[in-house]
Structure 1
Amino acid sequence: MAKVRTKDLVDKFNLELVHGEEGLHRPIVTSDISRPGLEMAGFFTYYPADRLQLLGKTELSFLENISADQRKERLEKLCTDETPGIVVSRDLIVPEELIEASRKTGVPIMRSSVTTTRLSSRITNYLESRLAPMTAIHGVLVDIYGVGVLITGSSGVGKSETALELVKRGHRLVADDSVEIRQEQEDTLVGSAPELIQHLLEIRGLGIINVMTLFGAGAIRNYKKISLVINLELWDSKKVYDRLGLEEDRMRIIDTDVTKLTIPVRPGRNLAVIIEVASMNFRLKRMGMNAAQQFSERLTHVIEDETEHDLF
């Protein structure tokens, strides 16, 4: 099923449909927009027919200066069976030849009062967001001190209970149980909740609670950039856990690597406080302050001083 159709653009940007209503359900498969300047000059060898076509003052002014036959021929080539639509900006007059070509192929012809550059930017941003690669991960996403923390772990390990404690401590819930993640840019992952479970939190033995109703609008967020992954796992006495924090594990989500920490769970550990501190420490590291690295350097200096003292 197509993520975006031409009708979505008409509704989102309040575009005027000039002709081609039967083509409004054509899928848009790429966020790239074409301004067919070379095509207006007759060069169709590399015409990207699957892109949304945007005609501005430059393209339409050029069309006025060529013969009627050339104009008809080129506008007919512009309208193909796979072209999702053609948008005319600045409320400019739509050429009659373009409307006639639309009648033959069913390509929607739309018009907007917005300037060409601004319209291109708005539509591109919208399409990039809607067409971004997506995945879903079982976990909880919380905004802690401005850091988007994705809490993962096996079922029943305590993710939702930890999220509830974090919300009580003033942080904001984004999603519980299932986190929908889209990659908006090469290194930007944005998480949100499926509409069905938005603002809801499931606590075993208690049931489903509405976080916004209980704690207010300040306790929730609709989406958040994911910066840190914290994996909760039951304490394994045979496993050696990192005690200094010098090693940094990474988790790949779609095409992006995100810093990952593993926190062992056992009775008596306050997971909410630990995750809260982990988020603050992550922010400090991004600011260039690494406590583990500083300790390692101090230790190295002490060892070097002791070695020199023994030599002399």
Structure 2
Amino acid sequence: MPSISVRRLYQDNQHKLQLAWSAGTAGADNRIGVEADKPVLALVGHLNFIHPNQVQVLGVAEVEYFKRLEAGESDFIFGRNIELQTSLVIVANGLPVPPMLRDYCHTSNIPLLTSKLESPHLMDVLRIYLQRALAVSVVKHGVFLDVFEVGVLITGHSGLGKSELALELISRGHSLVADDAVELHRTGPETLEGRCPAMLRDFLEVRGLGILNIRHIFGETSIRPKKNLQLIINLVPADDEYMKQIDRLSIRTETESILNVNIRSVMLPVAVGRNLAVLVEAAVRNFILQLRGKDSTKEFLERHQTMLKEDELNHEDSID
């Protein structure tokens, strides 16, 4: 399962959360990880002796509690409930660290940090950070774009023109997230966030032109660092056999499951003379309409059924 070290959490959030080391530096490589049956949100919380969090946060009430404890009682509680399950302890609100807590963390190699921020805000930031850092991920082949504020993954066999299509869409004002390798992270039960590997960021490979720096050519707005995946457009060769199998009036919604998240998918036949950029834009616009409860195919079929019924009634009236 995904995990990160306390050292990395500290480095990534040191300035944002005003973190400082107080004790337990020997435990900097302690791991914070997701368990199969527990959500990321359960990793961080106020001091809990019944169900210890991996990141235990001490606010005003918790520090006052420590002040009232005798050293022996505190050692018993920590030895029983915290040592094996807690990866990190943070004293928030700029409060002084209780000496018995500092001594215990030092001898047990449990990292102890302090922060000047209030504990609720500190926990909110850490939960969002851990949700992203520990998200289950997979790498998919394709081009990931922001089209009309919709995250669109264009897939298909090599040689079908995915990169050329992406270049055309970028020239029409849309934005590139990632080319070739797209990192998809499940940041929520029904949310996939697409990101670009650091090595490939800003670059798009087009056969005949080589590797292009999209940011330099089209400007800052042509690049997005990340985007939630909402639509998959799969390019397929438009041979006669495939075109004969297409149900032109199908109202069935196709989906593709990625990391147990169902994403709407569309098959787009590729043939000479077809303007794929316009077709992709139309597919995205239609997807947006469907999110708003408007289905063009269903509307057409309902209109067709209504006209048939009217014709039948008119026919019956003429017979009478």
TM-score higher than 0.5 here? yes
**Which of 282, 285, 288 pairs up with 2:290?**
285
Structure 2 counterparts to residues 188-227 of structure 1, below 5 A: 188-227=191-230
Q: Which residue of 2 aligns with 1:131?
A: 134
1:174 lines up with 2:177 in the alignment: yes
Q: Which runs of 5+ in 1 are unaligned?
A: 40-45
1:35 lines up with 2:46 in the alignment: yes
SS of the residue aligned with 1:305?
helix
Q: Which runs of 5+ in 2 are unaligned?
A: 35-39
- C-alpha contact 2:24 2:107 (8 A) present in aligned 1: no
- C-alpha contact 1:81 1:107 (8 A) present in aligned 2: no
- C-alpha contact 1:86 1:107 (8 A) present in aligned 2: yes
| 1:246 Cα deviation from its structure 2 partner | 1.9
C-alpha distance in 1 between matches for 2:65 and 2:86: 21
| 1:245 Cα deviation from its structure 2 partner | 5.4
C-alpha distance in 1 between matches for 2:144 and 2:261: 17
Q: Which residue of 2 aligns with 1:83?
A: 86
Q: Which residue of 2 aligns with 1:43?
A: none
| 1:278 Cα deviation from its structure 2 partner | 0.8
Deviation larger for 178-187 or 286-295? 286-295
C-alpha distance in 1 between matches for 2:274 and 2:228: 27
Q: Which residue of 2 aligns with 1:258?
A: 263
- C-alpha contact 2:92 2:118 (8 A) present in aligned 1: yes
What is the number of residues matched between the two proteins? 304
**Length-normalised TM-score, structure 1:** 0.92
Q: Which residue of 2 aligns with 1:150?
A: 153
Structure 2 counterparts to residues 11-30 of structure 1, below 5 A: 11-14=11-14, 15-30=19-34
Q: Which residue of 2 aligns with 1:187?
A: 190
SS of the residue aligned with 2:199?
helix
C-alpha distance in 1 between matches for 2:95 and 2:183: 40
Amino acid at match of 1:292: T
Structure 2 counterparts to residues 1-80 of structure 1, below 5 A: 3-14=3-14, 15-30=19-34, 31=40, 32-37=43-48, 39=49, 46-48=50-52, 51-80=54-83
C-alpha distance in 2 between matches for 1:34 and 1:286: 36
Amino acid at match of 2:72: D
SS of the residue aligned with 2:123?
helix
| 1:206 Cα deviation from its structure 2 partner | 1.7
Q: Output one character per residue of 1:233-284: Cα deviation in whole Å (capped at 9) or x when no partner.
A: 0113123224235221001111211110001111111111100111111111
C-alpha distance in 2 between matches for 1:208 and 1:57: 55
C-alpha distance in 2 between matches for 1:133 and 1:189: 10
Q: Which residue of 1 aligns with 2:254?
A: 249
SS of the residue aligned with 1:124?
helix
Structure 2 counterparts to residues 268-307 of structure 1, below 5 A: 268-307=273-312
CA RMSD of aligned residues (A): 1.7
- C-alpha contact 2:52 2:81 (8 A) present in aligned 1: no
C-alpha distance in 2 between matches for 1:3 and 1:72: 28
SS of the residue aligned with 2:240?
coil
Aligned-pair identity (%): 33
C-alpha distance in 2 between matches for 1:253 and 1:110: 37
Q: Say if 1:148 and 1:245 are closer, same or farther in 2 by CA, change over 3 A.
A: farther
- C-alpha contact 1:152 1:231 (8 A) present in aligned 2: yes
SS of the residue aligned with 1:4?
strand
Amino acid at match of 1:159: K
Amino acid at match of 1:172: S
- C-alpha contact 2:44 2:55 (8 A) present in aligned 1: yes
| 1:48 Cα deviation from its structure 2 partner | 3.2
**Which of 166, 180, 201 pairs up with 1:163?**
166
C-alpha distance in 1 between matches for 2:147 and 2:130: 29
Q: Say if 1:81 and 1:58 are closer, same or farther in 2 by CA, change over 3 A.
A: same
- C-alpha contact 1:76 1:101 (8 A) present in aligned 2: no
